[in-house]
Structure 1
Amino acid sequence: MEELGAAICEYRVRKGWTQAELGRAVALSKSAISHFENGSHVPRRDVARRIDAALDARGHIFRLRDELDDNPDADRVSRFLRAAARAVRIRQIASFTSVFLETEEHARLCLTAGLAAYGGDLDDKVHYRRQVRAVLDTPAAPQLSIVFLEGALDLGVGDRAVMRGQLSHMMRQSRRRNVALRLLPRREQNVFSDIGTVTIFEDRRGRTTVHRPSLSGGIYITQPKRTIEYVNLYDHLSQLALDVEESRTLIRKALEEYSPCTPPGSTNQ
């Protein structure tokens, strides 16, 4: 609802109209337009179509309205992807390997293990994770900053080859200009307890959306008074975390445990 309201407002401002002018164009009151834009009311489908046409939105406003009647699971997936695609900055607190940094093999194994609790179609879930990772490869890729628990490096998934591939991929991603990984040392893990995973999206207009996963698909928080609490939490953990180079060193050490170097003087057979 909030996203729909923001889209109506954005297209209206782009057209140079006031709320009263848009109301006259679609035979509604100024207060009705105000309710739509602040997310307190949802326009009927026919009204959304009229607003879309009046603002030359080319179906964007109507599609957002239409999604409110769609399958809620599909909408949660599409909303996370939209938030990631529109973000200029993504901050994440992660207890486990971030969905933005997984290899496909690692993701498939994790998703398979979670099917009993979360349900759904495995191939659909793998495809969704692939789309999430692809956000980092777009021309307008966001700046991604992640704080995650050092103990996450010990959570083996699959065999040694899977973990070797996962940690190698994480090392490569950590060297990208738009990616910053920071490990929270074990000595600070009591600060991390019960936090779980938190993803903070910030778009070009400075709006912040917080996502927290759950068995029902997760919740989205957009109220500024609440989102600032998560931003402050991220900043606090970031100050406690190791810097980027120290974190990369620990990831490299974990990788060496899965693929130890050949001892000096030995001969490969």
Structure 2
Amino acid sequence: MERNIAAVQLGVPPVANIRELDPSASPLDYYGSELRRLREAARLKQADLGAIVFCTGSLIGQIENGRKVPTRDFSERVDAALGTGGVFSRLVGLVLRSQLPAWFQAYAEMEAKAAYISSFQAQLVYGLLQTPEYARAVMSVRTEGDLDARVAARMERQRILDRENAPLMWVVMSEAVLHQEMGGREVMRKQLAHLLALRRREWVRVQILPFEAGAHAGLPGSFNLLRFADDPDLVYTEDFVQGRMTANPQALREGSLRYDHLQAAALSVEDSVVRIARVMEERYGDHPGPDGHAVA
């Protein structure tokens, strides 16, 4: 501080306030320290690198100081600019995962390893199927920390659906999910259009549990079943405080039985598409065609 005041008095530009990072403190701090090290090795100022990757030098500084969470797009552009061979594209996955709630990170790790995911959702679209706008609306209700980072972390989770050995996923959602408006009509239109577009992914199936099903096996709440090629199966539940995973055989038996009943009570995949399209048209004012895209 005194150095900067003296510099101003002498007519010299003040030295930037650089935060010293401990690379071992967190994935975010390690990312920032590596970005600074490799940028300086390339003899680039923050503004220089910012101009190359189409952002401000201030943003480069914030990321280097661990005050801003990088995106995957930013990481890919930095890799190209600095010729790092994909260092930051690999690191950003760890950084974004660290932005998930601490109690959820263990589940996210197991979710990424699962060979088969079965999910029942009573109130919200399953996180792996959410659009960025829908996710932001959900998280903005109550969230800690950087909302942009939390949304980016949720979108990062979805990358498992694009990998070569993507998990098979079957999601049963209460029809209430389609009617619970999150973020406004346009956000919901996009979200339901996204659910319709999932028909093109043969390893993802969505069923709607209709209102007319009445009392059903999912009344106690949402839950997920994870099955693995080499590890014990898991059942996952959440309350308003945290989530719980267990491989307890009795819990797995109960979860599997409930899920079987829910699938049996739900509309078929084909009829579920029709129900989603109908709600999208009648409640949110769109007229989707058979491919999920809106028509006049």
Q: Report the counterpart of residue 132 of structure 1 in structure 2.
A: 157
Alpha-carbon separation, structure 2, partners of 1:213 and 1:200: 13
Whose helix fraction is larger, Structure 1's or Structure 2's? 1
Ranked by relative contact order (alpha carbons within 8 Å, sequence separation 6 or more), the top structure is 1
Q: How far is the alpha carbon of 1:192 from its aligned partner?
A: 4.9
2:111 to 84, 94, 98: 84
Contact 2:217 2:259 in 1 (8 A): no
Does the CA-based 8 Å contact 1:106-1:166 persist in structure 2?
yes
Q: Quote the Cα distance in structure 2 between the aligned partners of 1:87 and 1:219.
A: 16
Aligned to 2:279: 254
Distance in structure 1 (CA, Å) of the matches to 2:219 and 2:146: 28
Residue 104 of structure 1 corresponds to 132
Does structure 1 residue 199 correspond to structure 2 residue 224? yes
- Separation in structure 2 between the aligned mates of residue 86 and residue 179 of structure 1, nearest angstrom: 16
* Counterpart selection for 2:202 from 154, 177, 181: 177
Change (3 A) 1:237 1:208: same
Instruction: Report the CA distance between 1:193 and its aligned residue.
Output: 5.8
Tell me which of 78, 86, 93 is aligned to 2:120: 93
Q: What's the TM-score, normalizing by structure 2?
A: 0.59
Separation (CA, whole Å) in 2 of partners of 1:170 and 1:261? 15
Q: 1:153 aligns with which of 142, 156, 178?
A: 178
Q: Which moved more, 1:132-141 or 1:177-186?
A: 132-141
* 2:193 aligned residue: 168
2:265 aligned residue: 240
CA deviation vs aligned residue, 1:152-172 (integer Å, no higher than 9, x gap): 111111222111111111111
Whole-Å separation in 2 of the counterparts to 1:197 and 1:187: 19
- Give distance in 1, aligned partners of 2:243 and 2:145: 15
- Tell me the secondary structure at the aligned position of residue 191 of structure 1: coil
Alpha-carbon contact 1:142-1:178 (below 8 Å) kept: yes
Larger mean Cα displacement after TM superposition, 173-182 or 235-244: 173-182
Residue 100 of structure 1 aligns to a residue in which SS?
A: helix
CA distance in 2, matches of 1:124, 1:228: 37
Identity %, equivalent residues: 28
* TM-score in terms of structure 1 length: 0.65
Partner deviation per Cα, 1:134-190 (whole Å, 9 max, x = no partner): 221111110000111112111111222111111111111133101111111112242
Gap runs ≥5 in structure 2: 1-97, 289-295
Whether contact under 8 Å (1:91, 1:199) holds in the other structure is: yes
Which of 219, 240, 244 does residue 215 from structure 1 map onto?
Answer: 240
Secondary structure of the structure 1 residue equivalent to 2:208: strand
Equivalents in 2 of 1:83, 1:89: separation in Å?
A: 11
Partners of 1:144 and 1:179 within 8 A in 2: yes
Task: Give CA-to-partner distance per residue, 1:178-235, whole Å, 9 cap, x none.
Answer: 1111111112242156422101110112621111122322111111221111011101
Mapped contact 2:174–2:208 kept (Cα < 8 A): yes
Question: By how many angstroms is 1:98 displaced?
Answer: 1.2
Report Cα offsets for 1:238-262 as digits up to 9, x if no partner: 1111110000110111222324449
CA contact (8 A) 1:88 1:143 kept: yes
Structure 1 residues 163 and 234: CA distance shift in structure 2, 3 A: same
Establish whether residue 226 from structure 1 lines up as the match of residue 254 from structure 2. no
Structure 1 runs of 4+ aligned residues shifted over 6 Å read none
Q: In 1, distance between residues paired with 2:240 and 2:157?
A: 19
Offset at 1:90? 0.1
Amino acid at match of 2:195: M
